[in-house]
Amino acid sequence: MPDDLWRLAQRLREALCDVDPSVLSPKECLAAVERLAATEKACAALRVRLAARAVEHGAHRDQGFPTGIDWLAQQMGSTNGEARNALDAARSVEDCPETKAALVSGELSLAQAHEIGRSHSEMPDAEHELVEVARTSGLGALRDAVRDRRLRDADPERLRQRQHRLREFRHWRDREGMVRISGAFTPDIGLPIVNRIEADADRRRRERRVEGVEEPFCAHAADALAAMLSGSGKGHATRSELVVVCDLAAYRRGHLHEGERCHLVGGGLIPVGLARTIGEDAFLKAVVLDGVDIRTVKHFGRHINAELRTALELGSPPGLQGAECVEAGCGRSYGLEWDHVDPVANGGSTSYDNLQPRCWHHHRDKTERDRRSGLLGRVAHQRE
């Protein structure tokens, strides 16, 4: 046994108990968090690899536990589901050498490694790409990358059938007596619901801020859903319920050729036939990609007209999978605000090239940076 390592681990635990965050500067705290996060991930990786070997040989029974999951859950102070996922993560990376190496070194968390490992059988050539995403992003961004990679080459018709089979709706009451709901809908059904809720939640949040009240976006979304279901919602959504991106030739033809695309913004691949059906609905906002240069949509002033908003909501080319906050590591796709890269007060135009999506917090930070740089009053100063 590596006794030196265990003694070192004991000394580390003792040292951690003596750390008082209040005596450290904010920068020192930030640096400490980054180092401890890597150490924690490396420790978790070794812990679960050791646990997997112990469980494989039935050592947990000597401690009086009927299953290895029960034993590991107690050691981790977690649920059985979390313990099961940890063991699954250890097993799933055995055929993924790059993922395993990154996990052992503390670059990846168990959850990240598990996400990559369990996708390996479906797309073994994607390991390096996914490890790079995991090194620079959180678990949510990695899951998005895995999903997008899986669906990239999927057959739209088969995907549609599989999604239809997976639809569900569940509800239950939590410990506070609140009614909680969970559901899964095909993209053409779910996206209009989500987009209408988010648009109304944005409106509610702006109104509450004027009143000096700051609440989480999810709280406003709950109010928006309740209003939508009761029919008491006010106003109209400023965001289209559904946006289709489809090559015009494929749309007219009725099926895709190699290299062509047909998808819902924020919802992934769909068959061209479904795009045509959606096209008969008034909620459809755009069928695009007819060689039009969307960067020509430009005007001055703050107002974003309908054509420009359509282009912006498509997201970044070539994927055109919907807008996300552009700040590194954020990736938030709800509650977005359109920020002028070069502020209007500095002469910036309301154009495709000069607008970027940012969540409220990052938009506020960007505005403050512009203010400190003197960009928010330059035009007025020049006019004087």
pLDDT tens digits along 336-369: 888 999 888 787 777 878 888 998 889 989 999 9
Nearest Cα neighbor of 85 from 51, 126, 114 is: 114
How large is the average pLDDT for residues 299-305? 60
How large is the average pLDDT for residues 193-201? 87
pLDDT of res. 245: 79
The band of 47, judged by pLDDT with boundaries at 50, 70 and 90, is very high
pLDDT in tens, 7-40: 988 999 999 999 999 999 999 999 999 999 999 9
Q: Are 166 and 184 in contact (CB under 8 A)?
A: yes
Whole-number Å distance between alpha carbons of 71 and 65: 6
Instruction: For residue 1, give the DSSP letter.
Output: -
pLDDT of res. 34: 93
pLDDT of res. 258: 80
Q: Does 379 score more than 70 pLDDT? A: no
Structure tokens at 86: 């940890």
The band of 1, judged by pLDDT with boundaries at 50, 70 and 90, is low
The band of 234, judged by pLDDT with boundaries at 50, 70 and 90, is low
The structure's pTM equals 0.67
Sequence spans of domains, the chain: 19-153, 168-230, 292-384
pLDDT of res. 282: 38
pLDDT of res. 284: 45
Q: Are 334 and 198 in contact (CB under 8 A)?
A: yes
Q: Which of 127-141, 236-250, 313-327 has the lowest mean pLDDT?
A: 236-250
Q: In sequence order, what are the beta bridge partners of 350?
A: 299
Q: Which residues contact residue 278 at a Cβ distance below 8 angstroms, ignoring those fewer than 6 apart?
A: 188, 242, 244, 270, 284
Q: Do β-strands 355-359 and 336-340 pair in parallel, antiparallel, or remain unpaired?
A: antiparallel
How large is the average pLDDT for residues 182-202? 89
Residue type, 225: L
Q: Which of 62-76, 146-160, 222-236, 259-273 has the lowest mean pLDDT?
A: 222-236
